[in-house]
Amino acid sequence: MRPRGGEVRPEGPEDDWALVRRVVDGGDLSAFDLLVQRYQDRIYGVISRLVADAELARDLSQESFLKAYKGLAGFSGGSSFYTWLYRIARNVVTSQQRYESARPKVSASLDVPPGERSSPLRLAAPAGGPDPVQSAVESERKRFLLQALAALQPEFREIIVLRDFEDRSYEEIAELLELPPGTVRSRLHRARMELRERLKPILVDPAT
């Protein structure tokens, strides 16, 4: 069985489809290992932004690859391997989020107590500042950005991760999320607006 025509395979010494066939037809574990090597950074990277917990992201990444391995025979080549793998990872994350949402939660607010907001965190780090200061500001800014991201609803979070963290095109996002491009555009717009609104009190100096 060959994949359907028109499918663009990733460049590389051996394309994904050939590796899949080696695993399915020949039980070649090393071929699957190559697929893991090829995609582990992307899968883990996205998952870690979606769940905001490194250890959990690691577990979910592992579970995603394991599910992919078990279901590899069902991969028909109708989409790229990464698209197929991403959708599995997405389901794994969604299941986890549902599980988590059933538990009692400790919520954290983005609101900074008034007394602590005397120095807004500007997006631009102070020019020419000493490295430790700059580093601390960068670190704190990153923490707030990720915290705001985590506070978005999952659909918004996912599209921000794909577009603004991973720099995927609208067309790629549409394929991954199985959405029309117009929906990608509108959802991204709403997601960004919400993210900006959440960050305004922290990142924008009230004096400006």
Partner 1 sequence: MTPACTKTRELLDDALDGRLDAAARAELDRHVQACPACAAEWDLATSLRESLLKIGLEPAPAGLRESIAAEVRKTGGQKRRSPFGVARAAAAILVLASLAWFGLKSQKTGERPAPERAAPKGEVARDAAPPPPRGAAEKLERSDLARAPAGSAVAAPQRKISTVPGEKSWTVDIPAESDALGRARALVDSGAAGGDVDKFVEPGVTPEERLRQAEALVMLHENLRELTEAAGERKGLGQLAKDADGALEVFAERRRADKGLVAKEAEEAKNLKDALDEDARRKAELEVAEGKAAAQPSLSKVAPAPKPEGTRGRAAGDDAVPDEPAFFVVSGPGAVGRVERVLADRGLQAQEVWLKDRGDNLKKQKLDAQATAYRIVEVLVPADGWNDLIGDLESLPSLQLAPVGRTAGAAPAAPTGGGGAGGGATPPRMGGRGGASGKQAPESRTETALRAEAARPAPAPDRPKSLQIRRLRLVLIGD
**Hey, which residues between 102 and 131 contact partner 1 (CB under 8 A)?**
102, 123-124
Closest CA to 124 of 110, 113, 134: 134
Q: Say if CB 145 and CB 123 are below 8 A apart.
A: no
Which CB, 37 or 118, lies closer to partner 1? 37
Query: Which backbone phi and psi does 172 adopt, to 5 degrees?
Result: -65, -40
Question: Pattern of binders to partner 1 over 41-80, x per CB under 8 A?
Answer: xxxxxx-xx----x--xx--xx--xxx-xxxxxx-xxx--
CA dist 208 and 205 (Å) reads 6
User: Does 101 help bind partner 1 (rule: CB under 8 A)?
Assistant: yes
Token pair of 201 as six digits: 């009190």
CA dist 180 and 155 (Å) reads 15
Which CB, 1 or 115, lies closer to partner 1? 1
Which CB, 116 or 167, lies closer to partner 1? 167
User: Does 203 help bind partner 1 (rule: CB under 8 A)?
Assistant: yes
Select the residue interacting with partner 1 from 19, 89, 93, 199 (CB under 8 A). Answer: 199
Stretch that binds partner 1, among 8-16, 105-113, 128-136, 138-146 (CB under 8 A): 138-146
Query: What number of other Cβ atoms are within 10 A of residue 61's Cβ?
Result: 24
List the interface residues with partner 1, window 139-158 (CB under 8 A).
Answer: 141-142, 145-146
- Amino acid of residue 183: T
